[in-house]
Amino acid sequence: MAKGSRLSARVRAALARPGGETKTYLARVAGRFPAAGILVDAPLRVGQDGRAAVGGQGAKDAATHFYPLAVVDVGRARVNDGDGDDVSASYTGGGRFETLVAARLTHSGRFHQIRAHLAHAGYPIVNDTSYNGGKGGGCEQKG
């Protein structure tokens, strides 16, 4: 799952947070995710376009906890595993970040819950053209 022992330990720690009986998923999102993680508590429904939509008539309770595991500056391809150890590659640019996050569903899983909640929070999954405004790798991001 993780290449380095430090990152692997962080992934295991994130997966062992309270509520361990729930499933945990991993996603690579656009932007620099808050270090403390976030809770997205937003009811979901299936919209007329067939995608999950936040709120509105018929929306059902849905909450997802997200925890950051690693941040990458994809412009510089500099990986930080959170322990101060960077692995660098020879790409140019800078300032476009992606974050590997762990996601935990606290209410029963709704249709596209993780995708919709991440997009709603402003951190769409990278290369998810359905919930990323039709964009692939180059996407709007927070942070």
Q: What is the pLDDT of residue 109?
A: 84
Going by C-beta distance under 8 Å and a sequence separation of 6 or more, which residues neighbour residue 134? none
Q: What is the pLDDT of residue 139?
A: 39
Q: What is the pLDDT of residue 11?
A: 74
Q: What is the pLDDT of residue 94?
A: 57
pLDDT in tens, 63-85: 999 999 999 888 765 555 566 55
Q: What is the pLDDT of residue 76?
A: 66
Strands 63-73 and 38-41: antiparallel
Q: How many angstroms separate the Cα of 100 from the Cα of each of 26, 68, 70, 73?
A: 7, 6, 5, 12
Q: What is the pLDDT of residue 85?
A: 59
Mean pLDDT, rounded, of the chain: 80
Q: What is the DSSP string of the chain?
A: --SSHHHHHHHHHHHTSS-TTS-EEEEEEES---TT-EEEE--EEE-TTSSEEESSTT-B--EEEEEEEEEEETTTTEEE-SSS-EEE-S------EEEEEEEEESSPPPTTHHHHHHHHHT-PBTT-TTTTTT--SS-----
pLDDT < 70 regions, the chain: 1-4, 15-22, 76-95, 107-108, 134-143
Q: What is the pLDDT of residue 137?
A: 45
Q: What is the pLDDT of residue 112?
A: 95
> Residue 130 in contact with residue 67, Cβ under 8 Å?
no
Query: Does the pTM of the predicted model rise above 0.75?
Result: no
